[in-house]
Amino acid sequence: VNPNIAVRQHRVALVVLESTFALDLAIPVQTFGRAVFTKLRGEATPPYEVMLCGVGSITPDGPLGFTVGELAPVEAIASADTVVVPGLEDPLTAQHPRVLHALAEAGNAGARMISLCAGAFVLGQAGLLAGRRVTTHWALTDAFRATFPEAELEEHVAYVDDGQILSSGGMLAATDLCLHVLRDDLGSGYAEGVARLLIHNPDYGSARPRADPLLAPRPEGSLTPVLAWLAEHLHEHLDLQRIADHAHLSKRTLVRHFRAQTGLSPNEWVARQRLEAARSLLENTDLTVLQVAHSTGFGSTENMRRAFTYRLGVSPRDYRGVVQDRTWSANDFYRTRPASHDVDDGIRRGMDICLDSRGV
């Protein structure tokens, strides 16, 4: 792998509030942090640095049920690349002004903002959700709509990726979102490795909603057949006129329907699909960048590189290098466990200590 290509070193700040839920706090800690996966693989530096931020301290009689030790002041999120607001028990209560101010600052500075479950209410209070596509726990949708009419609430999905703002629905959907982010940052090989350790079937990176029986099915839109046709013809030249002709709609109406049903413009939707296709080919085949660019409809390597650097922060070539270097399997996990003699040493030392303490 090219040593000049540093995998983006991310700092992830988790905002711990009075009524934060243990589960929603644990999921990002487990997926982003604690370096456990990195240590198992023998790597020097973990891909993320995780820090816990808040105002004051957390008392053990809150919803968390325990304390979390020293919290960095919430203003510290200003230095984070990614800010996560976990779900909390009383989303309608106004949060501390320092929290809201720090979130607004971080958001305006361009940090990636992630809410889990009811955490979307906190981002909303910070004024970050105007015009944004966002989701939250299904039991809170009415309250959310009433409180933040300026946000575009999406139901029937596990999570929503609106670029800078990402949000997941109820509780364990946070896992899907966190794995989606891992995949975006480090590739699907890494994300799948983490998913396997968590024994979780990830559904990241898909434009389709998770096929989960517990989520109400998303109503089929009139564009469904058009989207299917587009997915089949990604490698061809697709301008607005051609798509409109195929859909038997005017360009204007087509754009409107796209916006309503996918939240995206036609071009944006096609660009994302092409990016997904190109990622898959780079990760799973030996096709050259030029071949990938042609077969995914980017047309030229310049085009494709622009899309990659814009959305992923790396060129296609470097993406392939980073991703393949980071791909690992469950077998790697077992291989990188300490060799048996290390274990034996450890046990022996432990027994020595026991024996010493007994004065034997």
In sequence order, the 6+-apart residues with CB closer than 8 A to the CB of 147 are 92, 121, 124
Distance CA 243, CA 327 (A): 37
DSSP percent split of the chain into helix, strand, coil, nearest 5: 50, 10, 40
Residue 235 CB, nearest approach to DNA (Å): 16
- For residue 10, the SS3 value is strand
In the bound state with DNA, the residue whose beta carbon lies nearer, of 252 and 337, is: 252
Residue 248 CB, nearest approach to DNA (Å): 8
Among 169, 202, 266, 297, binds DNA (CB under 7 A): 266
Region from 27-35, 42-50, 168-176, 243-251 binding DNA, contact rule CB under 7 A: 243-251
Region from 52-60, 161-169, 258-266, 323-331 binding DNA, contact rule CB under 7 A: 258-266
Place of tokens 């540093």: 6
- For residue 304, the SS3 value is helix
Signed CA dihedral, 77, 78, 79, 82: sign only: positive
Among 41, 251, 294, 311, binds DNA (CB under 7 A): 251
- Rule CB under 7 A: say whether 255 interacts with DNA: yes
Among 93, 108, 253, 329, binds DNA (CB under 7 A): 253
Residue 118 CB, nearest approach to DNA (Å): 29
Q: How far apart are the first and last CA of the chain?
A: 53
Signed CA dihedral, 34, 36, 37, 42: sign only: positive
Residue 143 CB, nearest approach to DNA (Å): 24
Residue 274 CB, nearest approach to DNA (Å): 11
- Rule CB under 7 A: say whether 245 interacts with DNA: no
Distance CA 52, CA 66 (A): 15
Residue 225 CB, nearest approach to DNA (Å): 15
- Rule CB under 7 A: say whether 295 interacts with DNA: no
Query: Looking only at residues 89 through 118 of this chain, which bind DNA when binding is defined by CB under 7 A?
Result: none
- Rule CB under 7 A: say whether 342 interacts with DNA: no
Torsion angle, alpha carbons of 240, 242, 243, 245, to 10: 120
Distances (CA, A) of 298 to 183, 227, 274, 307: 22, 18, 7, 9
Query: What string of DSSP letters covers 95-161?
Result: PPHHHHHHHHHHHHTT-EEEEETTHHHHHHHTT--TT-EE---GGGHHHHHHH-TTSEE--S-SEEE
Query: Looking only at residues 124 through 163 of this chain, which bind DNA when binding is defined by CB under 7 A?
Result: none
Region from 37-45, 212-220, 259-267, 273-281 binding DNA, contact rule CB under 7 A: 259-267
Query: Looking only at residues 297 through 326 of this chain, which bind DNA when binding is defined by CB under 7 A?
Result: 299-300, 302-303, 306
Among 9, 67, 250, 291, binds DNA (CB under 7 A): 250
In the bound state with DNA, the residue whose beta carbon lies nearer, of 222 and 285, is: 222
- Rule CB under 7 A: say whether 38 interacts with DNA: no
Among 38, 147, 267, 280, binds DNA (CB under 7 A): 267
Half-sphere exposure of 41 (CA within 13 A, CB side): 21
In the bound state with DNA, the residue whose beta carbon lies nearer, of 38 and 267, is: 267
Residue 267 CB, nearest approach to DNA (Å): 3
- For residue 20, the SS3 value is strand
- Rule CB under 7 A: say whether 285 interacts with DNA: no
Residue 260 CB, nearest approach to DNA (Å): 9
Residue 180 CB, nearest approach to DNA (Å): 22
- For residue 339, the SS3 value is coil
Among 164, 241, 288, 329, binds DNA (CB under 7 A): 241
Distances (CA, A) of 61 to 8, 43, 46, 182: 38, 39, 33, 33
Binding site for DNA (CB under 7 A): 239-241, 249-253, 255-257, 259, 265-268, 299-300, 302-303, 306
